Amino acid sequence: MPPPAAYGGRQPVASGMNPLAIASLACSLLGIVTALLGIASLALLLPIVGVILGHVALNDIRKTGKGGKPEAIAGTIIGYIAAILAVLVITILKGTADILG
């Protein structure tokens, strides 16, 4: 067991999981939730961030051998799907607003 870090020092990472992979999955899933709630700005922004983080995580995992590849792949795929869903929801909301005046 490594000695504890000095006050204000960084704690060692407990697992070999890539944090960007988890962030990618979280952003992508939140993108779907915001799209279903009709929050247009976040519904479009979060999946894009999720896709970018997923690609960066996959590249990092390939170089370092850390874990998290399934999460990075899932975050990337869900991010693409969420971005398409967001565009559809925004289009439907805009069309409904135009019809209702």
Give, for all 101 residues of the chain, the pLDDT tens digit. Answer: 666 666 666 655 546 899 999 999 999 999 999 988 888 889 999 999 999 999 999 999 999 999 999 999 999 999 999 999 889 888 888 888 778 87
Model-wide pTM > 0.85: no
Distance set, CA 90 to CA 28, 43, 46 (Å)? 17, 9, 14
3-state helix, strand, coil split of the chain in percent (to 5) is 75, 0, 25
